[in-house]
Structure 1
Amino acid sequence: MNGPEIHLDFAPELRLFVPSGHRQGRTPVITDGRSTLGHVIESIGVPLTEAGRLVVDGLPVETSHIPGAGESIEVYAVERPQHVPGAPLRFLLDVHLGTLARRLRLLGVDAAYFSEDIGDPALATISARERRVLLSRDRGLLRRRELWAGAYVYSDRPDEQLRDVLSRFTPELAPWTRCTACNGDLVPATKDSVRDRIEGGTERTHDVFAQCVACERVYWRGAHHQRLDAIVAAALRDFSPVPRSADD
């Protein structure tokens, strides 16, 4: 580019996306004089899903703003919790986030996920068609224009990923109501109704069951329940709204 020089300052939370030369605060950038501020920000490496307020010489602007020579621009991170228009809040996760998808489902959060890579165009299309927030660690995927909404998952550790998503979007939690395998709804089931789907040992030692209305998978408090219960308890403790008292 060979046009006006501007000066960009990225919030500390966004500096992992940009080259080292742009991580030390206000740095010069040469633009072409035609591209929008949104395009300039993305060309440097920051997905617009992660950019919050944009301030030019002290005044807020939109991503459609065309930067002019000498402008000083501050790029803030998305404010948390982040409000997503429309309801209900639903997610779509890329193929690399299977554990996160299962944990969101464990908490009753609607989280669509495909165990096979269906490709970036298909994911973007589903996000737009079903109005789902696409969660990904793929910056290129988050730059696709057809996305309805998206968010970068900052960690590669499932525990931290879950906390990241819950703190950013504060979805309503309803643990043990969604199938972790297919995302379908769970309903109570009697032992008689699921007898042909469980083994003899399970039938003898358990009396409380649930079944997915979509894939018919059966659930009970098995060997892994204590570990899953700890995940649920931590999420409810840290991210469920605190009930207001009658005196508030």
Structure 2
Amino acid sequence: MRVLVTRPQPAAGATAARLRSIGHEAVVVPLTEAVPDLDALRRALSRPHGAIAATSAEAARTLAGLGHAVRDHLRTPLYAVGGATADAFRALGFCDVRVGPGDGAGLARRIAGDARPAAPLLYLAGAPRAKTLEDGLLAAAIAVETVACYRMKPRDAAAELAAVLAEAPVPAVLLYSAEGARLFAGLLAGIAGARHPGAAFCLSRSVAEALGGALESVVIAERPDEDSLLSRLGMPPPASMG
């Protein structure tokens, strides 16, 4: 099956490789690209914080841009929204990684279940973003400092997307974020005579809602992670590494 992957690189390449490994034809058209703000990140890390939280592996990639300075923070407790984000921080060398259930609200509950740190929690966030983690922490009376250490910048992908849709039918498009869904809907509406994908496979209900009815057929992952999303295409989860 021909599957359109819209998430940013380098994650899009990894998803495409998974799809191709089991016989799908993966077509990659990233709708956004990450623009890091290392100065904001350095300033935030220099202030007292008792733990770090992240809701995207992009935060780990941004942190890696600090080079050897990362070593000063590897023993800080790190709360990751889900398994992929946790793996990205473990790869940097973080040794106390605590994993949430895959969404911001669930990560807030995970954090609230631990003892309160003496200093505020530092949230390595992106922009734009959902505020579910911050709202959950506020409700739990947990002090948090949010730093927008990267920005997801829309790409000029209209011509690229139009060419893909004109070339051959696309039975499925993968959508990972509400912002990506909104961008996809806008691009689709602006391409005259475009042959629409057969179905949108969305990481969560909020992603599906952001699509705004641009496609009639919408499939939502049972859990907000890629394994669950891809399983809806009939794809098994990756084999255990032991």
TM range (shorter): under 0.3
* Bigger relative contact order, structure 1 or 2 (CA pairs below 8 A, ≥6 apart): 2
- Name which one, 1 or 2, has greater alpha-carbon Rg: 1
TM-score, normalising length: structure 1: 0.23
- Give the number of the structure whose residues are more often helix, by fraction: 2
TM-score, normalising length: structure 2: 0.23
